[in-house]
Amino acid sequence: MNDLFFLNQSSFRIIGDVHGDLNAFRHAIETDRFIIQLGDLVDYGPSSIEVMKLMLNIQERKRGLFLLGNHDRKLGQVLKGRKVKRDAALNATLEQLSKDQDTSLPSKILNALEQAPVWIILKKFIFVHGGFHTRMLTEPPPQPLGPMTSLMARAIYGETTNKILPDGYPLRLLNWINHIPENYTLYCGHDCRSTDGRPWIRKGYGGGTAIFMDTGASKGGHLSWIDVII
């Protein structure tokens, strides 16, 4: 991301996966803190495009940014004219986009997706959508809509396997938590692990901490956020 205005911020609101839940997102952004949204703004919910428009407005006013999620990347690939495997959630988002009266909106969304950071390292804090790898500490993030690299896959999908669970989602491993360095705190979304409606927190063997912010917005749960001072 070329515009690093967030580096001068010290107070942040970290927001989990929104998935088109506009009312919840409106509540989440009612803050004077700088917003870091962890990706997956779109799909599943009824207002994915309205959520994206609100996020674009936040970025234009330099009040926040969003990281690239796997659903956001998929939308970007479609907007670039690339072939992707479409599902009902993506088709619904594209239908919402086609009905919007702003004919310049697709290009605005694509431009934002092409600039969305794949991960952010800020002091002892790590922000990423899906999962961590130690190489993220030393290598620059890949181009958001560029080729799918191993680091891109880890960042937006986490640590996946070929096994599919009964709910239709792939089995995701969490070995990467143990490689978060001591005293680092990582915020991620993507993997809804919460059992009590609150963000799911796990300490790794390496001394780092992972906080899973996806609590199921538009998928039977709700939207969560946490305020932090860096």
Q: How confident is the model at residue 6 (pLDDT cuts 50, 70, 90)?
A: confident
Q: How far apart are CA 189 and CA 220, in angstroms?
A: 16
User: From residue 217, how far is each of 50, 125, 173 by CA, in Å?
Assistant: 15, 24, 22
Tens of pLDDT, residue by residue over 183-219, are 999 999 999 999 899 999 999 999 999 999 999 999 9
pLDDT category, 2, cuts 50, 70, 90?
Answer: very low
At residue 134, the pLDDT reads 98
d(CA 116, CA 144): 6
- At residue 9, the pLDDT reads 85
* Domain architecture of the chain: domains with CATH: 10-229 (3.60.21.10)
- Return d(Cα 183, Cα 186) in angstroms, integer: 10
The pLDDT tens digits for 110-129 are 999 999 999 999 999 999 99
pLDDT of 101 reads 94
What is the per-residue pLDDT for 66? 98
How far apart (Å, rounded) are the C-alpha atoms in residues 31 and 12? Answer: 9
pLDDT over 90 at 91, yes or no: yes
Mean pLDDT, range 164-175, rounded to an integer: 81
